[in-house]
Structure 1
Amino acid sequence: MNCCRTSPSNSWVFPTVNLCCFGFFSMMKPSEPFVVPYLAGPDKNISLGITNEIFPIWTYSYLVLLLPVFILTDYVRYKPVIILQGVSFIITWLFLVFGQGLRAMQVLEFFYGMVSATEVAYYAYIYSVVSPEHYQKVSGYCRSITLVAYTAASVLAQLLVSLASLSYFCLNIISLASVSVAFLFSLLLPMPKKSMFFHAKPSTGASPKPGGRDAFLEEPQKGHKPVCQETFTFSRNLDDGSLSTPKPENVTLRVFVQWFQDLKECYSSEQLFYWSLWWAFSTAGFNQVLNYVQILWDYKAPSQSSTIYNGAVEALATFGGALAAFTAGCVKVNWDLLGEMALAVFSAVDAGSLLLMHYTNNIWVCYAGFVIFKSSYMLLITIAAFQVAVNLSVERYALVFGINTFIALVIQTVMTVAVVDNQGLGLPVSIQFLIYGSYFSIIAGIFLMRSIYIICSAKCGKEECMSTVTGQNPSEPENSMSGMNTVTQF
């Protein structure tokens, strides 16, 4: 009998394997790189309205659903929301396979917005079923498996289209089968007994940091002012014997009050605020580019008359992004001093890539611009996530991540209404990418000015400090000169 029991040290294996299988099959969708050619082709024949009437629905539904789903996810303890995501995946691909007409595609986009909004449950679930010592390991597994699946799906799609001449309809049948398998794995997930907020258990120590951090991140950076470093105490207060058991509505109210206090304290850090600001604005632009890049490719090289390589490009861009993210974890830089300079430089690279995609008529140059853009963004978002999370508990990181994502969606919605939607300017896709390139140019300019200010302030502060020291020791000019030389070394 004892041999059938799962030991505590291995209790993380079953839920992690199940969740990774769900993540793999939910991202193993070979039809995704060819969505626009499929909609514009003979299967659906919706060449008009894709840009201005169909794709904006995803942005609007994602925005409307994100906050309610974020709250519901913790309240119902993750698994039901993961199941809801699996159901939404199936409905989305049923509409892609069998739906016809503009209205059906708009409903499809609504359910895909539901898929995006419920994604938070996939990344939060694992923290409720494994012990803190496994957070880093399982977070790495759950995040990397989705990149592997997306890359494999893109490569498979390109091979099937180019070598086997498989139709886009068949690719969608494969995708429907894959997300159906993912749904089955969601049913096998163990139901968590706790969550981070509404069903939190009392903690005996400091709240763990988010998973996925490297070992050297356990210590704050040198000279880095701790942000929100206090232990997340709300869960302990709820279960403290000195307090009477609150009513459910009081618990809910206290959760919201604690969220507000935590966010206010976190964003009071100037460094965290500016990194979060870049995160929100850049993510809005990134999502907008991803949403409409296939339409640009179809404009530069129409799929009905050209050989297209969307799958290969998506795979290469995803691999480049994963490689850039890995590189970011290995590079040792004083991000307090040079971090915002990096944001400025790579935002300028993003801007240049998008402007290149706008001005070129060569589809291969357009493909290359997208690979550079996605790799650059993935590099910076990894650094930004580390800078935001380095001194935050898992609970506070989840809150900041949720608010940053919501702000990004608000910005993206404004861009969609103003630039894409027929109720706004309704610009053609080629002009849209000129707007997006200019948008990233503004981001680069803002952070360039701020980085120059930070570097100059640091230099002036060191010079002032050294002049104070040399003023107290006038008899040692040699030492003072050597001290002045060190000021210019960052």
Structure 2
Amino acid sequence: MTDTNGAMSDSDSNSKVSPVEDDDDRDILLKKRFWWEALKCCSFTFLLTFKPSEPHISTYLREVKSFTDVEIYTQIYPWWTYSTLVLVFVSAFLAEFVGYKLSLVLGACGRVATRFLLLFGTRLWHMQLMQVCYAFGTTAEIVFYAYIFHIVTRDDYQKLTSMALAAHVISNALSGFLGDILLNVFHQSYTTLMWWSAVFVCCAALVTLTFTSVRRPKSPTPAQVWTTIKLAYRNVTFLLIILWWIFANSAYGIVYGYESSLYDIIMTRDNLDNYNGTVFAMGQILATLASLSVAVPIVLKFTSNNQHLTVGFVGWLCTAALGLMAWWSDLAPMCTGFVFYYGSYHFVNAFVSAETGRVVNGNTKGSGDTGDPGRDCYAMVVGSNSTLDHRSSSFRRQPTTYSSTTETERLRMQSLAWKLWLIDIAH
């Protein structure tokens, strides 16, 4: 007996229907609502990511807002990194004990505040506040990937997760194209790009108002949430996968940031044309296809039953891709390695994101607590997974100050370190 949102209503809590029967009814309703929920979720991730100004943030802060590189990289950007470490638990706490929809709406408001502070802020503390607002929006986006598990059935976790991540990647690619066209063809200003970004982020915030509320008979207690977390991390296979994912995200932050520098070094040395935008576009297209491919039934069946083999195989692909980037000094092998690394990473990212929901759902049901309001505390588990990841993002925003030789050797050493680590995990 469920309401239109597929959750138990208060009047049903005293009924004699067994939890298993109620779960069956709920799954039927969620199946019927899948495409409507998918439309809202994919629209949200697409609009939130569609920011033509994003690749030009540092240039905007320097040329339009007149901040120095030292201020940008040491006094503005670090506020995002450290704020995220705290706010991820604030957003997860709000989701579990107050409401998922409220957490997502407030996070979207944080993203809107970020855009208007970028447009109208003039002082250093304005930009620092902007980074805190952006951090709150980022942590709410993490909660969003836990929210997905409440609005679809377990069988559809991977499908909707893959669709949402694919919408994120393709939006990033299209917004980058639009930004370059506006700048180079129509000669628009960086401020104009900021306004475009603000409009799309505001639209994403409006979409959150249409999200289905997650209703429970009552809120879980802290003890129930803690039990859910312990059950998840007692799964040794899941724990090893999450450890790999955390370090893979760190490697992703390094590789994503240094590819542009390495491309520029080789391009200048060999006097070649600049097609790095096309390289990134190819990587994003492959990443979109890779994210969607995880939801293909035959692929999903294999990955769900062979988690270790899946992560180990993709780890070897990432290792090979990093090897191409590190030890071949020509442009074509380096770009090929980057594109395949980008696609491989997004394949395993889509898999791990949905696997979190499957593990939490399966472990809790396996414990027999099918009527426990703490059974579906996905936000705290997803938040815990993400906490150690965000430090890597600071690498993407560091200025390039190395010489050609130093830069190449630095990337080679980083690649070698990650390769050895990935090989150990695969074994």
Give the TM-score normalised by the residue count of structure 2. Answer: 0.71
Give 2:346's match in structure 1, choosing from 361, 364, 378. Answer: 378
Residues 124 and 407 of structure 1: CA distance in aligned 2, closer, same or farther (over 3 Å): same
Aligned to 1:407: 388
Aligned to 1:322: 288
Asked if the contact 1:288–1:412 (Cα under 8 Å) also holds between the matched residues in 2, the reply is yes
Aligned to 1:88: 110
Give 1:446's match in structure 2, choosing from 411, 421, 424. Answer: 421
Give 1:19's match in structure 2, choosing from 41, 44, 68. Answer: 41
Q: What displacement does 1:47 show?
A: 3.3
Asked if the contact 2:107–2:141 (Cα under 8 Å) also holds between the matched residues in 1, the reply is yes
1:393 aligns to what SS in structure 2? helix
Residues 253 and 103 of structure 1: CA distance in aligned 2, closer, same or farther (over 3 Å): closer
- Deviation track 1:333-369 (CA, whole Å, cap 9, x = no partner) reads 8957755653553342454466479x88x8x987666
Asked if the contact 1:77–1:194 (Cα under 8 Å) also holds between the matched residues in 2, the reply is no
**Alpha-carbon distance in structure 2 between the residues aligned to 1:125 and 1:265:** 23
Residues 131 and 183 of structure 1: CA distance in aligned 2, closer, same or farther (over 3 Å): same
- 2:349 maps to a residue whose letter is I
**Alpha-carbon distance in structure 2 between the residues aligned to 1:168 and 1:308:** 21
1:30 aligns to what SS in structure 2? coil
Give 1:265's match in structure 2, choosing from 222, 230, 234. Answer: 234
Asked if the contact 2:88–2:139 (Cα under 8 Å) also holds between the matched residues in 1, the reply is yes
Aligned to 1:170: 192
Asked if the contact 2:79–2:131 (Cα under 8 Å) also holds between the matched residues in 1, the reply is yes
**Alpha-carbon distance in structure 1 between the residues aligned to 2:188 and 2:94:** 41
Asked if the contact 1:275–1:388 (Cα under 8 Å) also holds between the matched residues in 2, the reply is no
**Alpha-carbon distance in structure 2 between the residues aligned to 1:367 and 1:104:** 38
Residues 282 and 74 of structure 1: CA distance in aligned 2, closer, same or farther (over 3 Å): same
Aligned to 1:122: 144
Aligned to 1:281: 247
Asked if the contact 1:58–1:109 (Cα under 8 Å) also holds between the matched residues in 2, the reply is yes
Asked if the contact 1:54–1:109 (Cα under 8 Å) also holds between the matched residues in 2, the reply is yes
- Deviation track 1:111-169 (CA, whole Å, cap 9, x = no partner) reads 22111111123223344345556555544443333233222212222222232222222
Aligned CA RMSD, in angstroms, stands at 4.2
Identity %: 22
Give 1:29's match in structure 2, choosing from 37, 40, 51. Answer: 51
Residues 259 and 133 of structure 1: CA distance in aligned 2, closer, same or farther (over 3 Å): closer
Aligned to 1:145: 167
Residues 350 and 107 of structure 1: CA distance in aligned 2, closer, same or farther (over 3 Å): farther
Mean CA deviation greater in 100-109 or 333-342:
333-342
Aligned pairs for 1:38-437 within 5 A: 38-42=60-64, 44-130=66-152, 135=157, 137-194=159-216, 199=219, 252-266=221-235, 269=236, 271-290=237-256, 312-327=278-293, 335=306, 338-339=309-310, 341-349=312-320, 351-352=322-323, 355=326, 370-382=338-350, 384-385=352-353, 393=361, 395=376, 400-409=381-390, 412=392, 428=401, 437=412
Q: What displacement does 1:316 show?
A: 3.0
Aligned pairs for 1:453-464 within 5 A: 454=427
**Alpha-carbon distance in structure 1 between the residues aligned to 2:44 and 2:353:** 24
Residues 340 and 258 of structure 1: CA distance in aligned 2, closer, same or farther (over 3 Å): closer
Asked if the contact 1:321–1:375 (Cα under 8 Å) also holds between the matched residues in 2, the reply is yes
Q: What displacement does 1:371 show?
A: 3.6
Residues 283 and 315 of structure 1: CA distance in aligned 2, closer, same or farther (over 3 Å): same
**Alpha-carbon distance in structure 1 between the residues aligned to 2:127 and 2:261:** 16
**Alpha-carbon distance in structure 1 between the residues aligned to 2:359 and 2:75:** 43
Asked if the contact 1:63–1:406 (Cα under 8 Å) also holds between the matched residues in 2, the reply is yes
Q: What displacement does 1:320 show?
A: 2.1
Q: What displacement does 1:440 show?
A: 4.2
- 1:60 maps to a residue whose letter is Y
Q: What displacement does 1:87 show?
A: 1.0
Asked if the contact 2:101–2:211 (Cα under 8 Å) also holds between the matched residues in 1, the reply is yes
Count of residues in Structure 1 that have an aligned counterpart in Structure 2? 377
**Alpha-carbon distance in structure 1 between the residues aligned to 2:311 and 2:55:** 33
1:118 aligns to what SS in structure 2? helix
- 2:213 maps to a residue whose letter is M
Asked if the contact 1:86–1:183 (Cα under 8 Å) also holds between the matched residues in 2, the reply is yes
- 2:223 maps to a residue whose letter is R
**Alpha-carbon distance in structure 1 between the residues aligned to 2:336 and 2:49:** 23
Asked if the contact 1:46–1:101 (Cα under 8 Å) also holds between the matched residues in 2, the reply is no
- 1:150 maps to a residue whose letter is N
- 1:50 maps to a residue whose letter is I
Q: What displacement does 1:441 show?
A: 2.3
Asked if the contact 1:33–1:311 (Cα under 8 Å) also holds between the matched residues in 2, the reply is no
Asked if the contact 1:36–1:298 (Cα under 8 Å) also holds between the matched residues in 2, the reply is no
- 2:317 maps to a residue whose letter is F
**Alpha-carbon distance in structure 2 between the residues aligned to 1:27 and 1:366:** 27
Asked if the contact 2:76–2:124 (Cα under 8 Å) also holds between the matched residues in 1, the reply is yes
**Alpha-carbon distance in structure 2 between the residues aligned to 1:80 and 1:15:** 17
Residues 183 and 151 of structure 1: CA distance in aligned 2, closer, same or farther (over 3 Å): same
